[in-house]
Chains A and B, each alone.
Chain A
């Protein structure tokens, strides 16, 4: 069975993919489907509850915040920032981490030792603390947050991929390729990289969920987007101030993060199960029970 079909038969991949797709479509179409401008203030209608609750206004389906801004519109535009950071930060961390892992795993020796030491140093930091001091050094902003996530989380890829590379380079077909006279780069590119790619894709999906959370934390603390930009973390920080008057305001952005992270987690988990060679072997021997 092809890897692609195996993925499509996994309920985790299908549900996770559907959730991520839904968030992505909402983010892409935000300017057309949002009922209001996310910054537009309606000071006569502040802190409205959702439309279905008593006192709600159908013009504001999910209610308004303390400045009378439409929660639904801000939620939709917030998805753009969340996914923007998720895609760029996870791709950056993947490229850096995987490149270093391939170098460490194939060159070995001093390169490997150096990269291993760097990982040890990075692992001594709680990730949030390292991201915080990077943002103090770099200054606040979405792109700084993306850079900080790359600099903090490359180790996640590097650690996992490096140990896989070490297994792969000892396989017979890699030795055969070397014996045929293929150069180092060619073996790396044509034989090793394809073998570790399923793992990279899996970690990538999980990393996107992590990036969404980190961006929310940093915009909650005020180190990411400017305070006026509708990011989910900013919405939570704003709604927290008015929690006693309007509890709903906190619930929706939390729900946004929940759905997105759940989507990425299910996708990553499902891909791991569908693409992991060892699991595939045992499952196909046992007869289809996962």
Chain B
């Protein structure tokens, strides 16, 4: 089973490689449309022409476009991400700090969203045909009309400003010292360092932004799960299970849920891809030092090396995630496995 999964995953990832090249070319071409001159903006006023030409050479901006693209792709493949024009630090170093922060946020957001969504979906199904189902339906429609970044602002307003119950800036209480960075994932690092105070603080800082992400996901999971449960419940094996005298909650939780899981998994896969987009603004609003914050800072300062690298990393994440979901789907549903 594990070997099968690896083979499927490798095959699926190989399909993503040409897409990634096309993506990188698209990013490169779009960013070369830029009307402003990032070099002129990054130097102090009064810099000489010679200084600008030197800097342009340093960043390789004096060559032809295909040359620049080839150089850039070559460097990215070699793991050299270049230097940020605005932060004056290596892009790889900036990304190495930001990426684990974003992944931690996504993981928690997905976890909350899936738990709430599956719970809510079962509840919707259990309440089918009652006024409760209708009320819950209306509620989810209302939730879905508020995008993640507005949930982020509302949560900051309610829990941060009005109730003053939760922190809403950054990753850690400024009074605490950061645990030594082993993995870059603050929760794990705090556990490794055996620092419960840092762990609790990091978790508290993650709760509101993860909730903002989860609120967008949960209603969709609820709806899809209910729809597939409604289909599954009319199947013969459900009637069989009932005839065998199994209690209704067992029929629902064991037999129906397992078969209703497929559409839910593919929905979660698609939505997790969108969630990477959702983190961008959520991170900005919670001043959370992840990829999204880095991206928006870079965009505001027209910091091309950072924008290029971070945009590509987002695409790599989405492509990997899609591959992972496809493989998971094939593992859960043997009918889809290639011979």
Interfacial residues, chain A to chain B (CB-CB below 8 A):
117, 120-121, 123-129, 132-139, 209, 213, 216-217, 220-223, 236, 240, 243-244, 247, 250-251, 254, 257-258, 261-262, 265-266, 269
Choose one: A124, A127, A244; the contact of B20 (CB below 8 Å).
A124
Task: Tell me if B218 counts as interface (CB < 8 A to partner A).
Answer: no
Contacts of A269 in B (CB 8 A): 141
Main secondary structure of the interface of B (DSSP, over half): helix
**Tally of B interface residues using CB under 8 Å:** 48
Choose one: A126, A236, A243, A247; the contact of B277 (CB below 8 Å).
A126
Say whether, besides A127-B277, A128-B277, A265-B144, A139 and B35 are in contact (CB < 8 Å): yes
Cα distance, A217 to B146, chains bound together (Å)? 12
Cα distance, A221 to B282, chains bound together (Å)? 12
Q: When the two chains form their complex, are residues B150 and A124 in contact, meaning their CB atoms are under 8 A apart? A: no
Contacts of B31 in A (CB 8 A): 133, 136-137
Q: When the two chains form their complex, are residues B34 and A258 in contact, meaning their CB atoms are under 8 A apart? A: no
> Shortest CB–CB separation between residue A236 and chain B, in angstroms?
6
Q: When the two chains form their complex, are residues A217 and B307 in contact, meaning their CB atoms are under 8 A apart? A: no
Say whether, besides A137-B31, A221-B299, A258 and B315 are in contact (CB < 8 Å): no
Least CB separation from B35: chain A residue = A139
> Shortest CB–CB separation between residue A18 and chain B, in angstroms?
15
A-B contact count (CB 8 A): 123
Least CB separation from A262: chain B residue = B145
Cα distance, A38 to B199, chains bound together (Å)? 47
Q: When the two chains form their complex, are residues A243 and B145 in contact, meaning their CB atoms are under 8 A apart? A: no
Q: When the two chains form their complex, are residues A134 and B30 in contact, meaning their CB atoms are under 8 A apart? A: yes
Q: Which 8 A-B pairs have the closest CB atoms?
A: A126-B277, A262-B145, A137-B33, A128-B277, A137-B30, A126-B276, A121-B22, A124-B315
Contacts of A127 in B (CB 8 A): 274, 277
Contacts of B146 in A (CB 8 A): 254, 257-258, 261
Task: Tell me if B295 counts as interface (CB < 8 A to partner A).
Answer: yes
Interface string of B13-48 (1 = CB under 8 A from A): 000100110110011001111111000000000000
Least CB separation from B144: chain A residue = A265
Say whether, besides A120-B19, A137-B30, A221-B284, A126 and B162 are in contact (CB < 8 Å): no
Least CB separation from A214: chain B residue = B147
Task: Tell me if B296 counts as interface (CB < 8 A to partner A).
Answer: yes
Task: Tell me if B157 counts as interface (CB < 8 A to partner A).
Answer: yes
> Shortest CB–CB separation between residue B24 and chain A, in angstroms?
10
Task: Tell me if B327 counts as interface (CB < 8 A to partner A).
Answer: no
Contacts of A250 in B (CB 8 A): 153-154, 157
Q: When the two chains form their complex, are residues B36 and A247 in contact, meaning their CB atoms are under 8 A apart? A: no
Cα distance, A236 to B16, chains bound together (Å)? 39
Say whether, besides A121-B22, A121-B26, A132 and B295 are in contact (CB < 8 Å): yes
Cα distance, A100 to B68, chains bound together (Å)? 32
Contacts of B34 in A (CB 8 A): 136-137, 139
Q: When the two chains form their complex, are residues A117 and B22 in contact, meaning their CB atoms are under 8 A apart? A: yes
> Shortest CB–CB separation between residue A245 and chain B, in angstroms?
10
**Most chain B CB neighbours (cut-off 10 Å) among A123, A136, A244, A265:** A136
